[in-house]
Structure 1
């Protein structure tokens, strides 16, 4: 396809990583960026993430063949209204990166003209414990699900064109109805965040009277509550734009808790065994990436590309250190990137590994 001008609104982790991936797949494309923060714009320009950047969203929109909205959900819907009043290129493609889709799609279908604009809802299911333009990573979406939700303003040709534009991301593209997307993600993404935060709230209050709760909480509890550290503003917007599906999941979960409580009250050993066995088998059937729940206070995270022998090379660098655990987070790379997570027994080994990998490779390395 002919060289295009891509306009990315929001130069944080997602927007910056999208820009890098587009440039990798189409080095001849012109990539423009919008961000209100001076610092993010400066970093994006210094790193070559974008060719030009502005703090005035309307300034670059008329120049674009493709506009990608990588801002919070509420701001995405506000920018759709702004775009409706601008003189855009004929048949410009507009898409977004929001974690909920139905409200955004409805907003686009109400305000954007089908004679002038093509709109596709999008949800790249990747993220990180890092944020901002400084964290942008060309490999962020590698092998991650990248979901498209068709609209009344799009057709198969629109999505095919987007797949070509985004080919440098090396993502796994999939199409799904916007309403079904929100139903599915309410179960496997949105409700789990509520559950993780509820567990942390419960444990924090319980620890007021039972101090050792703070010391014993590790392993399985750590893994179940990791996502409670997610950014509150983002998750507030997600819940409020998917409220019905989320409320249904909460109600359903309450019923399931009541049922297992009844089993315990009744001393129904067989029912309790069946309860745990069903959960175990269901997890196996879902083919969720298995990982050990090993306790460690010294953890290293390495962003690695999906290439042969990468992990072997890193492990060779760590000869002589005492590893507790190693795993990849996670198979579909939702919430955090496909990060190699390595746990050590001592702070000394952690420091050695951080310095060694940073020196011998160009992979981003982080501690937490």
Structure 2
């Protein structure tokens, strides 16, 4: 049995979860980890996420058959430069976990071009509101897209070898050009984060003279702005490493807002109706409700009475089921289905929850 050494730089949510997934299908592989934080290294060792850990990135790199850079984008490029200076194993596979791909792939092709290594860009499209090694979850990537962006250093078997290494993640693998990846994610990930933070800033300013906004901001507004709570440093790096595509989306959206403004001024009822109808139809045709990306979960809504122990009763029914989040919609419920919102990682868990709640209670259950 071949025993490989895997080196994961960055033992946070993503790096730690990758390590657990690798261990699930390849328990005989040796997993070594880097993290600057003493606490993260201690947690990773205590939870047996890694077999050994270091605070010196250079230490374990020459020992590795596969190196995974699960650190912020700028740090990823910095580590690629360091790897170019080290004596690495011949044909070592190097990959990353960054949210943008073009600049990382370009850096690898430039700095590693004279080394006998393989490089492919990667983007595991999954996440959580939790962070750090303590939040590492072997099921984090289940059914999520795991994107590979080849480089000129990618060989015929590089991606298939990585797929075998990562088989325990139970992810869905997709291969896409780095530039196209950044173009697509600028629309469905990067620009929405800009919109969410912009809406929060606008609402914050508006609430200074309209205090009730703080009480009525629920339902659709809550769902649209949830991602505004994301980590600022990560999103600053994403915007600055995907400038052209993101600026294009911003300019495009400005024009769309101008068009809508003109229709409202003209009281063009027909065009406004068609605008909302197109949006509805496009959303219905997209794979929005499938598990396919960052924070894409399965939600169930339960109409429950305002009585003591009701929430505990439902949670007891779901004992042993993997929950992502539980949210109580207490105030404005105009555009949501139920007061109790429970999120699951898989459709199987959602179906089980629906069956249990409907079988043992008389509460109404809705799936959105």
What is the TM-score when the length of structure 1 is the normalising length?
0.84
In structure 2, distance between residues paired with 1:191 and 1:5: 38
In structure 2, distance between residues paired with 1:58 and 1:342: 49
Corresponding residue number in structure 2 for 1:132: 132
Unaligned stretches of 5+ residues in structure 2: 328-368
In structure 1, distance between residues paired with 2:182 and 2:209: 39
Q: Secondary structure at the match of 2:113?
A: coil
On the 8 A contact 1:11/1:34 being kept in 2, the answer is yes
Q: Deviations over 1:15-63 (max 9, x none)?
A: 0000000000111110000000011001101111000001011000000
Shift in Å, 1:361: 2.6
In structure 1, distance between residues paired with 2:176 and 2:92: 22
On the 8 A contact 1:354/1:365 being kept in 2, the answer is no
Shift in Å, 1:364: 6.5
Q: Cα distance 1:272–1:55, how it changes in 2: closer, same or farther (>3 A)?
A: same
Q: Cα distance 1:345–1:68, how it changes in 2: closer, same or farther (>3 A)?
A: farther
On the 8 A contact 2:12/2:132 being kept in 1, the answer is yes
Q: Secondary structure at the match of 2:272?
A: helix
Q: Cα distance 1:68–1:342, how it changes in 2: closer, same or farther (>3 A)?
A: farther
Corresponding residue number in structure 1 for 2:262: 262
Q: Deviations over 1:332-359 (max 9, x none)?
A: 141x26466667665954762697479x
On the 8 A contact 2:84/2:115 being kept in 1, the answer is no
Q: Secondary structure at the match of 1:209?
A: coil
Q: Cα distance 1:222–1:54, how it changes in 2: closer, same or farther (>3 A)?
A: same
On the 8 A contact 1:31/1:51 being kept in 2, the answer is yes
In structure 2, distance between residues paired with 1:357 and 1:240: 46
Q: Cα distance 1:151–1:259, how it changes in 2: closer, same or farther (>3 A)?
A: same
Unaligned stretches of 5+ residues in structure 1: 290-329
On the 8 A contact 1:101/1:178 being kept in 2, the answer is yes
Corresponding residue number in structure 2 for 1:332: 292
| Superposition RMSD in Å | 2.0
Q: Secondary structure at the match of 1:156?
A: coil
Shift in Å, 1:285: 1.2
Corresponding residue number in structure 1 for 2:177: 177
Shift in Å, 1:221: 0.6
Q: Secondary structure at the match of 2:128?
A: coil
Structure 1 residues 334-349: aligned runs within 5 Å: 334=294, 336=295, 338=297, 348-349=308-309
Corresponding residue number in structure 2 for 1:271: 271
In structure 2, distance between residues paired with 1:361 and 1:105: 41
1:361 aligned residue (310, 313, 320): 320
Shift in Å, 1:113: 3.2
Q: Deviations over 1:144-192 (max 9, x none)?
A: 0000000000023100110000011000000000000000000000000
On the 8 A contact 1:41/1:53 being kept in 2, the answer is yes
Does the alignment pair 1:223 with 2:223? yes
Does the alignment pair 1:158 with 2:158? yes
Corresponding residue number in structure 2 for 1:251: 251
On the 8 A contact 2:93/2:119 being kept in 1, the answer is yes
Corresponding residue number in structure 1 for 2:8: 8
On the 8 A contact 2:9/2:57 being kept in 1, the answer is yes
Corresponding residue number in structure 2 for 1:204: 204
Corresponding residue number in structure 1 for 2:359: none
How many aligned positions are there?
Answer: 326
On the 8 A contact 2:291/2:298 being kept in 1, the answer is no
In structure 2, distance between residues paired with 1:117 and 1:86: 12
On the 8 A contact 1:140/1:337 being kept in 2, the answer is no
On the 8 A contact 1:114/1:153 being kept in 2, the answer is no
